[in-house]
């Protein structure tokens, strides 16, 4: 056994020395990205303009039932669940520690090193990592001692592949996205009205800023995905962003901060009005109507390009297409991404994986996985884990057309 173990270690060392991956020591201050006017440069904003082209790891650290194997609850007419409710059921059945351990296993299955290898091979140089607040914090508002395992892992593995990482708080405590499932807590938008949830969100960003403030491979902090302020609160989106901006800047003065122009740039302001620096404004253009109509989608795409350029030039800051989909119009995908690159606008498509099988939608590099999803209310722990095993990327259908067009635009 000892000889076998030594031989395995030897092989690992040989692989590490001969493979294309870099070591974390290869990252330096020259790789640190900062805003310089309307562009992003390396060497802390003093070097070359960096063309940033990426993809989202949706469904990994925040699960949306329509696109990933979160499972269902038979008592709810077999409807898919949001992340919060799924965790709630599992915690009630198995306890919080066992639930976290189960989700760790799911996450190790869902995104693996081979997935990052494929992303790197496409020529992409960053990943946006959406995460749910319960990934890092428990329901008592305490940071989990193991809560950063996956964020640390993806950062380390991205660094080995010379890729950057955006940490995206996709679902904040209490919900912040008008109750959309995308925020992980269907029907809840309490961040805006509940001071406890606001303090928890502050604590999350304080912890993240302290943990990663010296990491050059962290592209930036995406403070809140697609925020929609509650009508019951006097707080605006700008108010919330300003509070979180100040919290991060008190700890980390150097990393880029990303803010969502959702539903539009009208919900934000000229960053100079608030004294915000080193910020990027992000938009998520989805032409959801008439998805199969090429002319409609072409007009939507052209309008969005002009819209992004307008605010970039008016407010003198970089803008970022953080999510988008141009459905099955691959010529429009190509035009869109090439135009963004030409204009020094960063982009990341939504998303890497999606279980959906569709003749109209075009949601991922890997699609169409019809493996059975777990019934989180009735399946045993072993049955749930066995079903999740079938959602490694090898069980999906490779979306060759989308893979090809993104790779062409990235390289």
Q: What is the pLDDT of residues 371-394, one digit of tens each?
A: 999 999 999 999 999 999 999 999
Query: How many domains are there within the chain?
Result: 1
- Which one, of 81, 112, 86, lies nearest residue 353 by Cα? 112
Percentage of residues in the chain with pLDDT exceeding 90?
A: 87
pLDDT for 43 equals 97
Task: State the pLDDT confidence band at 78, using cuts at 50, 70 and 90.
Answer: low
57 and 127 Cβ atoms separated by less than 8 Å: yes
Q: Given a cut of 90, is residue 181 above it in pLDDT?
A: no
Domain extent at residue 227: 2-410
Query: What CA–CA distance (Å, rounded) separates 242 from 262?
Result: 15
Tell if the pTM clears 0.85, that is, is over it. Answer: yes
Query: What CA–CA distance (Å, rounded) separates 251 from 199?
Result: 16
Task: State the pLDDT confidence band at 17, using cuts at 50, 70 and 90.
Answer: very low
pLDDT for 74 equals 66
Cis? peptide before 392, omega within 30° of 0: no
| Two tokens, residue 234 | 């006097």
| Two tokens, residue 336 | 């869109």
pLDDT for 19 equals 37
Tell me which of 74 and 119 has the higher pLDDT: 119
Task: State the pLDDT confidence band at 1, using cuts at 50, 70 and 90.
Answer: very low
| Two tokens, residue 174 | 């209490």
> Which DSSP string corresponds to 368-382?
---PPPPBTTTS-HH
Q: What are phi and psi of 45, to 5 degrees?
A: 90, 0
Over residues 257-285, the pLDDT tens digits come to 999 999 899 999 999 999 999 999 999 99
Task: State the pLDDT confidence band at 71, using cuts at 50, 70 and 90.
Answer: confident
Q: Given a cut of 60, is residue 23 above it in pLDDT?
A: no
pLDDT for 24 equals 55
Query: What CA–CA distance (Å, rounded) separates 342 from 18?
Result: 35
Over residues 200-251, the pLDDT tens digits come to 999 999 999 999 999 999 999 999 999 999 989 999 999 999 999 999 999 9
Percentage of residues in the chain with pLDDT exceeding 70?
A: 92
Q: Given a cut of 90, is residue 302 above it in pLDDT?
A: yes
Average pLDDT over residues 123-147: 97
Average pLDDT over residues 39-50: 98
pLDDT for 4 equals 37
Query: Residue 291 belongs to a domain with what CATH number?
Result: 3.20.20.80
pLDDT for 79 equals 67
Q: Given a cut of 70, is residue 330 above it in pLDDT?
A: yes
Task: Tell me which DSSP letter residue 192 carries.
Answer: G
Average pLDDT over residues 352-356: 96
Gap between the terminal Cα atoms of the chain: 45
- Looking at every residue in the chain, the average pLDDT score rounds to 92
Task: State the pLDDT confidence band at 107, using cuts at 50, 70 and 90.
Answer: very high
Strand residues in 48-184 grouped as ranges (E): 53-56, 126-132, 164-171
| Two tokens, residue 169 | 């708080």
Average pLDDT over residues 180-187: 90
Task: State the pLDDT confidence band at 65, using cuts at 50, 70 and 90.
Answer: confident
């Amino acid at each position: 056994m000892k000889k076998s173990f030594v031989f395995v270690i030897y092989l690992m060392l040989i692989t590490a020395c001969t493979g294309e991956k870099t070591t974390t020591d290869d990252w330096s201050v020259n790789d640190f990205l900062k805003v310089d006017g309307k562009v992003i440069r390396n060497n802390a904003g003093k070097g070359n303009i960096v063309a940033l082209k990426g993809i989202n790891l949706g469904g990994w650290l925040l699960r949306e039932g329509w696109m990933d194997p979160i499972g269902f609850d038979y008592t709810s007419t077999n409807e898919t669940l949001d992340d919060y409710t799924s965790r709630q059921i599992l915690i009630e059945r198995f306890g919080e520690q066992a639930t976290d351990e189960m989700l760790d296993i799911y996450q190790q299955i869902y995104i693996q090193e081979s997935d990052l290898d494929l992303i790197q091979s496409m020529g992409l140089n960053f990943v946006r990592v959406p995460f749910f607040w319960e990934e890092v914090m428990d329901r008592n508002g305490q940071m989990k001692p193991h809560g950063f395992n996956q964020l640390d892992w993806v950062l380390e593995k991205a660094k080995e592949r010379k890729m950057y990482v955006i940490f995206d708080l996709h679902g904040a405590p209490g919900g912040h996205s008008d109750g959309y499932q995308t925020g992980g807590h269907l029907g809840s938008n309490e961040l805006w009205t509940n001071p406890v949830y606001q303090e928890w969100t502050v604590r999350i960003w304080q912890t993240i800023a302290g943990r990663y403030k010296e990491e050059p491979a962290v592209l930036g902090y995406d403070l809140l995905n697609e925020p929609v302020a509650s009508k019951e609160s006097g707080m605006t989106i700008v108010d919330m962003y300003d509070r979180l901006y100040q919290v991060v800047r008190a700890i980390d003065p150097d990393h880029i901060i990303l803010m969502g122009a959702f539903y539009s740039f009208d919900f934000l302001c000229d960053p100079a009005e608030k004294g915000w620096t080193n910020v990027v404004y992000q938009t998520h253009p989805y032409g959801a109507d008439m998805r199969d109509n090429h002319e409609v989608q072409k007009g939507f795409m052209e309008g969005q390009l002009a819209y992004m350029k307008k605010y970039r030039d008016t407010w003198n800051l970089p803008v970022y297409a953080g999510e988008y989909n141009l459905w099955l119009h691959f010529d429009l995908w190509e035009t869109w991404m090439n135009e963004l690159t030409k204009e020094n606008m960063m982009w990341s498509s939504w998303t890497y994986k999606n279980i959906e099988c569709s003749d109209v939608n075009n949601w991922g590099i890997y699609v169409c996985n019809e493996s059975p999803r777990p019934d989180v209310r009735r399946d045993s722990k072993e049955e749930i884990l066995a079903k999740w095993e079938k959602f490694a990327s090898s069980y999906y259908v490779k979306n060759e057309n989308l893979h090809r067009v993104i790779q062409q635009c990235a390289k």
